[in-house]
Chain A
């Protein structure tokens, strides 16, 4: 189904979903015919499915530098986050019930924290600086579990996970960074999401460090992997693993290219659009992602007009959110929330597309401001 006849848009929203990697497509198609059986059974088709699932686990472990028995496939990144946060809390329930999360965590972490609160637990948010980096010296006291993302999904800032105090086990949400940056050290559990690295949707990865105290926070199941729930999507897990292996192999070249393109966006937007705030850490950040806010501009009008001109971008402005509240990330940083654009580069994004976006942006912004009488 196609909605328009113009050239395909420049897709600059890879942080929401990266298009399927060719390696994932071929693994998925091959495994659809061989990976259908229940990996727990003792017959031939089951052994084939089990082999594929074990293979997927090993490939992911190698790509991430962890042990295969530390890897669990989940039905989504969100579910991996919930299992990671709540499973560490369940493992430490005799010590306390205090979850401390950075104020700029993905809503999946905050939802898990609110769920924990509704069951009598405690949730405190750790403040961040203007760049969105968690202020370690101002962490709320006596955490039972600390949740600090690897890098922020909206502004790209890398968090100091390895420098967190060793007083509580750390859950790190690596959904925005997995495959793009190596994992930090110092965590007890972590989560990733395949559709953000070029795997299929519906595959999350939960990592639990060997020796960490983790207990299933939900009813659990009788699968091969005690941490998972439900019949494994073996072909999708294999496709996710193939994509992760490929993007890690391609990482050095792609990271350098994307980092330079985002630097170009940061400098040209700041120089060519008046009254704009380019946010997040300018250097210590995700390679592919940049966010800026334009004063006096309606975020929905901005995204709609950019889409009309062939550029697909995301926004954290309230008027673009289903909740009609501004991005809690931008709010915690104390930066402008309206007129917000998040641009994120997929593996095939070209310099030409980025330059075309940068050439078009100033006129789009000034026309929206002119309509508002400014």
Chain B
């Protein structure tokens, strides 16, 4: 998870190959495992995740912390738990 290396990631979710809305479902299901302030990294090949993960953050009151890339080039979406 090279791009996220600057900051510790508390939970990594591998959603490669999943189609929408599965990555967001996985994110919602696993999210409560990290403490408030924690960072979740979701690796998604599905292009809809680029819109849907930030939209989920907005609807859920969480912070979208940007996008980086995994070592294999897969986009990785970073989400910080605020509530």
14 residue pairs from A and B, CB less than 8 Å apart:
A295-B59, A296-B25, A317-B48, A318-B47, A326-B20, A331-B51, A334-B54, A334-B55, A334-B58, A336-B51, A336-B59, A338-B24, A372-B25, A374-B29
A295–B19 CB distance below 8 A: no
Q: Given that A318-B20, A326-B20 are known contacts, is A337 also in contact with B25, CB under 8 Å in the complex?
A: no
Complex CA distance for A96 and B25, rounded to whole angstroms: 47
Is B21 an interface position by the 8 A CB rule? yes
Is B56 an interface position by the 8 A CB rule? yes
Complex CA distance for A295 and B27, rounded to whole angstroms: 12
Q: Give the residues from 7 to 26 in chain B that come closer than 8 angstroms, CB to CB, to chain A.
A: 19-21, 24-25
Interface membership of chain A positions 308-337, coded 1 if the CB is closer than 8 angstroms to chain B and 0 otherwise: 000000000111000011100011001111
Chain A residues contacting B28 (CB-CB under 8 Å) are 295-296, 374
Interface residues contributed by chain B, number (CB under 8 Å)? 18
Chain A residues contacting B30 (CB-CB under 8 Å) are none
Is A18 an interface position by the 8 A CB rule? no
Chain A residues contacting B25 (CB-CB under 8 Å) are 296, 372-374
Is A105 an interface position by the 8 A CB rule? no
Contact residues of B with A, CB < 8 Å? 19-21, 24-25, 28-29, 46-48, 50-52, 54-56, 58-59
Contact residues of A with B, CB < 8 Å? 275, 277, 293, 295-299, 317-319, 324-326, 330-331, 334-339, 372-374
A337–B59 CB distance below 8 A: no
Contact of A319 among B20, B50, B58 (CB under 8 A): B20
Residue in chain B with minimal CB distance to A318: B48
B29–A373 CB distance below 8 A: yes
B21–A326 CB distance below 8 A: no
Chain A residues contacting B47 (CB-CB under 8 Å) are 318, 325-326
Residue in chain A with minimal CB distance to B47: A325
7 more CB-based (< 8 A) A-B contacts, given A298-B21, A324-B19, A372-B21: A296-B21, A326-B52, A334-B55, A336-B55, A337-B51, A337-B55, A373-B29
Chain A residues contacting B24 (CB-CB under 8 Å) are 295-296, 338
Chain B residues contacting A318 (CB-CB under 8 Å) are 19-20, 46-48
Residue in chain B with minimal CB distance to A276: B59
Q: Given that A297-B21, A331-B51 are known contacts, is A336 also in contact with B56, CB under 8 Å in the complex?
A: yes
A339–B48 CB distance below 8 A: no
Contact of B52 among A324, A338, A373 (CB under 8 A): A338
Residue in chain B with minimal CB distance to A294: B21
Chain B residues contacting A335 (CB-CB under 8 Å) are 51, 55
Chain B residues contacting A373 (CB-CB under 8 Å) are 25, 29
B51–A326 CB distance below 8 A: yes
Residue in chain A with minimal CB distance to B54: A334
A326–B48 CB distance below 8 A: yes
B59–A275 CB distance below 8 A: yes
Residue in chain A with minimal CB distance to B20: A338
Complex CA distance for A74 and B58, rounded to whole angstroms: 44
Complex CA distance for A334 and B29, rounded to whole angstroms: 22
Minimum CB–CB distance from A25 to chain B (whole Å) comes to 41
Chain B residues contacting A336 (CB-CB under 8 Å) are 51-52, 55-56, 59
Minimum CB–CB distance from B13 to chain A (whole Å) comes to 15
Chain A residues contacting B19 (CB-CB under 8 Å) are 318-319, 324
Complex CA distance for A299 and B55, rounded to whole angstroms: 16
Complex CA distance for A335 and B54, rounded to whole angstroms: 8
